[in-house]
Amino acid sequence: MGTRLGRPFPKPLTPLVDGRTIMQQQIENIEKVFGDKARISIVVGFKMEMIMETFPRCLYIYNEEYDQTNTSKSLMRALA
């Protein structure tokens, strides 16, 4: 299970050296390969509203047990 970084935002919104967030970099990389019409699904939990507001074009799956499960459980939820 991941740990909190002690910041007021979720890990995907952690800024990188170039000013982009981790998730922004991932989304841009997906769009470079698949185009800007790519349907991107994200499993959210901790502070999900912040992620959803930042990336409104994405589809979202909520893992209500995010604080009790790990990444593989979130993946299973996305595939269900």
Q: What is the pLDDT of residues 18-29, one digit of tens each?
A: 999 999 999 999
The set of residues, in sequence order, having a beta carbon less than 8 Å from that of 6 and lying 6+ positions away, is none
- Collapsing DSSP states into helix, strand and coil, what is residue 52? helix
Q: Decide if 6 is inside a domain.
A: no
pLDDT at 30: 97
Q: Decide if 49 is inside a domain.
A: yes
CA distance 17 to 19: 6
Low-confidence ranges of the chain (pLDDT < 50): 1-2
pLDDT at 79: 78
Structural domain of residue 48, as residue ranges?
11-79
pLDDT at 71: 78
Q: Decide if 5 is inside a domain.
A: no
